[in-house]
Structure 1
Amino acid sequence: MKAGQILQVIADCPQSFRSVPEEAVKHGYQLVTEPKKVGQDIYFYIRVIK
């Protein structure tokens, strides 16, 4: 992916609510919004910085 693009990640594991944002920041990406839970799915929007 190119810098500035946004990746949508959909997970259904409750632990991902914490681990996905931590890993994104750890690897130099930016969480665009707070994770949103819809039913059992958790949606993440992550911006590529590099």
Structure 2
Amino acid sequence: MYALDALRNMKAGQVLQVIADCPQSFKSVPEEVVKHGYTLVKEPEKKGHDLYFVIKVTS
């Protein structure tokens, strides 16, 4: 997942917005965020076919 690569290069406190169009992302993105030690800032938001995730680097 490209988002994980981007998050690895970010500093604590920075936020990344991820936009996905795959329905499986609704489950997989939050799971991967927690698994890798990041924080999902708010619940995923659906707009049309797109899913929006806001992820914060915590450490």
Normalising by structure 2, we get a TM-score of 0.83
More helix by percentage: 2
Extract structure 1 runs of 4+ deviating beyond 4 A.
none
Normalising by structure 1, we get a TM-score of 0.97
Identity %: 74
CA RMSD after TM alignment: 0.4
More strand by percentage: 1
Long gaps (5+) in structure 1? none
Long gaps (5+) in structure 2? 1-9
Relative contact order (alpha carbons < 8 A, sep ≥ 6): 1 or 2 greater? 1
Give the length in aligned residue pairs. 50
